[in-house]
Amino acid sequence: MIAHLLESTVLLGVAIAAAHLPRLAARTRYAIVFLALLKFAVPWKLQAPNATLAIAVPAGPIAIAPHAFATPSIWPAVIEAVWLTVAAALFLLILLRARRAAREALDGAVVVPELCRRGVTVLRSPGAVAPAAIGIVRPRIVIPAGLDLAGDELEAILAHERAHIDRRDNLLALADALIGAALWFHPLVWMARRILARAREEACDEIVVARSGPDAYLAALAKVCSAAAAPRVAGVSCIVSNTIRERINAIMNLPLRRSLPHRFVVAVAVALLAAVTLVHAKEGKSRYAMSTTISIADGAYVFDITVRDRETNEIVVHPHLSTPAGVPAEMTSDGVPKFNVRAVADKDGHGEVQLKVFDGGGNVIDGLTAAYTINKQPGQAISLSLKDADLKDVIRSFGQLSGMEVNVDPDVEGIVTVDLRNVPWDQALQRILADNKCDYETDGKTIHVRRIR
């Protein structure tokens, strides 16, 4: 998640810098920054980071696999709770402000039939302080009852609000508000949202000027601005904003400016964003699977490590390493690629097994890391902390833990997220399988896992 946040931050910074290029149209600036903001919303599991599984068991053989995170402390949960609480409160506040603004604008509104076009209802309202497009599912245009506009000036203002509706600006504003609330701690996100708010209005300005020229529109804006200054809220696109001076300057300069092709620039931005996301997802997904059995003999930790090629299921390296606590053990295979396996265990029972794969030039091209905890207390209880672990990998780990063979039906699949403390291994397995609508039975030295019909 941290890597995803940093990567998205860098991309957003680049997008914000690109948005200040002089020859970009407003809709192009909006698209670039909005795409970069959406990068934060890409599920970080798509980035497929190397993960670890931690199993605490009595002294003796244990099995670990690289598919979940080590046992967390209480602080990550506290931080996550604070983050979610603030995010939910901010988003709720945004929704309440939008609802209040829409209710005030529609108070006493009456339909103006002669202005209703293309299925969009136009209303005059004494509660509206400025022209605005309100709503997402059934958008309506509201004009202040006391606003003295007619002819080309009124048509220019209505064209601006219809442009908001055509662009789905209220829906997009709600999306960027949701991301802003979720990333309330991120200064670049707030900066990006300000850029989006300005670009959203300027993009509609550009549409109006392209259709009817700037004269009538500038005159209409002057009258609207003299009448009101309205707040900016998600779900309400208002023609008056705190960037009106910059917008008027931009409108006056539009005939003198030749913008870069919108579709070409956006296509390049989409391609770069997709390339970064897919390349990192591919980098994060290891070609190899690693399982490890650990035992304690004569005061030393004994590692029985198996590395398989996921594509062929062949064992590519199978080292046995023995080392006292605190002393790393390491081996490197011959040939190309070279497989380097390093294992270490601390006196408190914590440690890790690390796999690195090198090409012929000595560059690391792949790797995995598995963390573990050994509980030396007597008993058969285990402690498990799994997050988004593959169900089949977890089942295989239990097979190694119990010293039994595992037979899994082809339709058994799922994701395991669980936090267990001092639970017998068979009860832990039963609970994990039940959560994924599976069960098991033992036949001698074989555990057979099947999906519940």
CA distances from 388 to 297, 391, 399 (A): 33, 9, 19
The sign one gets for the Cα dihedral 415, 417, 422, 427 is negative
| pLDDT tens digits for range 416-428 | 888 888 777 777 8
Q: What pLDDT is recorded for position 28?
A: 94
What residue segments make up the domains of the chain, in order of their start? 74-258, 380-453
> Could you tell me the pLDDT band of residue 43, with boundaries at 50, 70 and 90?
low
Count of beta carbons in the 10 Å neighbourhood of residue 207? 19
Q: What pLDDT is recorded for position 45?
A: 44
- 3-class SS of residue 407: strand
Averaged pLDDT, 250-255: 75
- 3-class SS of residue 127: coil
Q: What pLDDT is recorded for position 360?
A: 85
Q: What pLDDT is recorded for position 113?
A: 92
Q: Name every residue whose Cβ is closer than 8 Å to that of residue 29 and which is 6 or more positions away in sequence.
A: 19, 195, 199
Q: Quick check: 132 and 237 in contact, CB under 8 A?
A: yes
180 pLDDT more than 60: yes
Q: What pLDDT is recorded for position 447?
A: 83
Highest mean pLDDT among 25-29, 227-231, 258-262: 25-29
CA distances from 443 to 23, 81, 315 (A): 72, 44, 27
The region of weakest confidence among 285-289, 305-309, 357-361 is: 285-289
Q: Which residue reads 């700037």 in tokens? A: 214
- The span from the CA of 401 to the CA of 442, in Å, is 15
| pLDDT tens digits for range 187-227 | 999 999 999 999 999 999 999 998 888 889 988 888 888 76
Q: Name every residue whose Cβ is closer than 8 Å to that of residue 432 and which is 6 or more positions away in sequence.
A: 391, 394, 416, 418
Q: What pLDDT is recorded for position 240?
A: 56
| Average pLDDT of the residues of the chain | 81
Q: What pLDDT is recorded for position 276?
A: 77
Q: What pLDDT is recorded for position 324?
A: 86
Q: Quick check: 122 and 143 in contact, CB under 8 A?
A: yes
Among 237, 231, 201, residue whose Cα is nearest residue 120: 237
Q: What pLDDT is recorded for position 71?
A: 39
Give the 3-state secondary structure percentages of the chain, helix then strand then coil, rounded to 5: 45, 25, 30
- The span from the CA of 178 to the CA of 447, in Å, is 46
Averaged pLDDT, 339-360: 84
H or E element at residue 12: helix 2-18
Among 349, 429, 424, residue whose Cα is nearest residue 381: 424
35 versus 452: the higher-pLDDT residue is 35
Q: What pLDDT is recorded for position 168?
A: 94
Q: Determine the straight-line distance between the first and last CA of the chain, rounded to whole angstroms.
A: 36
Q: Provide the CATH number for the domain formed by 380-453 in this structure.
A: 3.55.50.30
Count of beta carbons in the 10 Å neighbourhood of residue 452? 9
Percent of the chain with pLDDT over 90: 34
Structure tokens at 98: 């939008």
Residue 57 exposed, middle or buried by CB count within 10 Å (0-12, 13-18, 19+): buried
95 pLDDT more than 50: yes
8-state DSSP, 402: H
Among 126, 130, 152, 153, residue whose Cα is nearest residue 141: 130
The sign one gets for the Cα dihedral 249, 252, 257, 263 is positive
48 pLDDT more than 50: no
Q: What pLDDT is recorded for position 221?
A: 87
Q: Which residue reads 């609207």 in tokens? A: 224
| pLDDT tens digits for range 125-176 | 998 888 999 999 899 999 998 888 888 999 999 999 999 999 999 999 999 9
Averaged pLDDT, 225-252: 64
Residue by residue, what is the 3-state secondary structure of 145-213?
A: CCCCCCHHHHHHHHHHHHHHHHCCHHHHHHHHHHHHHHCCCCHHHHHHHHHHHHHHHHHHHHHHHHHHC
182 pLDDT more than 70: yes
Q: What pLDDT is recorded for position 234?
A: 56
Residue 343 exposed, middle or buried by CB count within 10 Å (0-12, 13-18, 19+): buried
- The span from the CA of 66 to the CA of 310, in Å, is 13
304, β-bridge pairs: 293, 320
Averaged pLDDT, 108-127: 91
